[in-house]
């Protein structure tokens, strides 16, 4: 897909560990449901992802932002687009425009993945497809450890990257990027989170992301990108405040 759409605004990575928005109150009963949103006449914001792990984190990161957060479950007839971009940002824009056009809603999409320095940045944008979409994560981890053994670079520096894009109709309204730096753990540890979390060791906390609980949503690549989105959505001049 090409991203020939108009682009209005971008934000640089604010970096992990920024806690600007973390003090916002959370709703007592978790993410706002569709019914609650309809009762309060909030505008809808489609969180366009097919990944349940991502969606759970996005719901937490956007809690209380003043939108009725809806999911792709409302558009079961829309199948996911092919991801053909060579960068996270390109794929995020493509997904946001694709789902915004088909849903008619203000839409946020993100593209994310794990970059391992000793593997030249792999799996990178191909993180979900690495080893095949149907390969289990333990098998993907084994592939990565084999490749690292061959390079002799166990414990390689690595980072998670998240690029997000907000779109309405054919226009990209906002983009942001978040990263978290760490290294590949000696072995998978922890059963929280999703995807590659068990093999991503985060030195400041001395644990893998899969061994963290609520802390992941304050330090992660996704937290950095969605913190910037929150700031954009509440700015008076965007018309979304």
Give dist(CA 46, CA 62) in Å, integer. 11
- Please list, in sequence order, all residues whose beta carbon lies within 8 angstroms of the beta carbon of residue 233, skipping any fewer than 6 positions away: 65, 66, 67, 240, 241
182 touches ligand ITT by CB under 6 A? no
Q: Which of 80, 104, 138, 155 binds ligand ITT (CB under 6 A)?
A: 80
CB of 11 or CB of 112, closer to ligand ITT:
112
Q: What angle do CA 225, 11, 37 make, to 5 degrees?
A: 55
Nearest approach, Cβ of residue 130 and ligand ITT (Å): 7
Whats the size of the chain, residue-wise?
Answer: 241
Pick the closer one to ligand ITT by CB: 112 or 179.
Answer: 112
Site string for ligand ITT, 35-54 (x = CB under 6 A): --------------xxx--x
Number of Cα atoms under 13 Å in the Cβ half of residue 81: 23
Residue with tokens 């971009």: 85
Q: How far is the CB of 81 from ligand ITT (least distance, A)?
A: 8
In whole angstroms, what is the distance from residue 66 CA to residue 62 CA?
9
Residue 82 CB neighbour total at 10 angstroms: 10
Identify residues 95-134 at the interface with ligand ITT (CB under 6 A). Answer: 95, 111-114, 127-128
Residue 171: CB minimum distance to ligand ITT, A: 20
Tell me which residues touch ligand ITT (CB under 6 A): 49-51, 54, 80, 83, 95, 111-114, 127-128, 160, 193-197, 220, 222
């Amino acid at each position: 897909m090409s991203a020939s759409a108009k682009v209005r605004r971008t934000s640089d990575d604010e970096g992990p560990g920024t806690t600007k928005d973390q003090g916002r109150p959370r709703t007592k009963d978790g993410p706002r449901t569709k019914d609650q949103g309809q009762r309060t006449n909030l505008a809808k914001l489609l969180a366009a992802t097919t990944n349940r792990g991502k969606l759970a984190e996005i719901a937490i990161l956007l809690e209380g932002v003043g939108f009725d957060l809806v999911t792709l479950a409302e558009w079961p007839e829309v199948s996911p687009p092919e991801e053909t971009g060579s960068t996270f940002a390109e794929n995020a824009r493509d997904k946001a425009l694709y789902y915004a056009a088909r849903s008619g809603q203000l839409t946020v999409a993100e593209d994310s993945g794990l970059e391992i320095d000793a593997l030249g940045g792999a799996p990178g944008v191909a993180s979900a497809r690495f080893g095949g979409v149907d390969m289990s994560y333990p098998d993907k981890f084994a592939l990565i450890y084999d490749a690292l053994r061959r390079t002799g670079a166990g414990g390689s520096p690595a980072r998670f990257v998240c690029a997000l894009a907000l779109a309405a109709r054919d226009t990209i309204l906002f983009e942001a990027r978040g990263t978290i730096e760490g290294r590949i753990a000696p072995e998978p540890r922890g059963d929280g989170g999703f995807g590659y979390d068990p093999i991503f060791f985060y030195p400041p906390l001395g644990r893998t992301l899969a061994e963290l609980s609520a802390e992941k949503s304050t330090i992660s690549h996704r937290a950095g990108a969605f913190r910037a989105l929150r700031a954009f959505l509440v700015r008076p001049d965007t018309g979304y405040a």
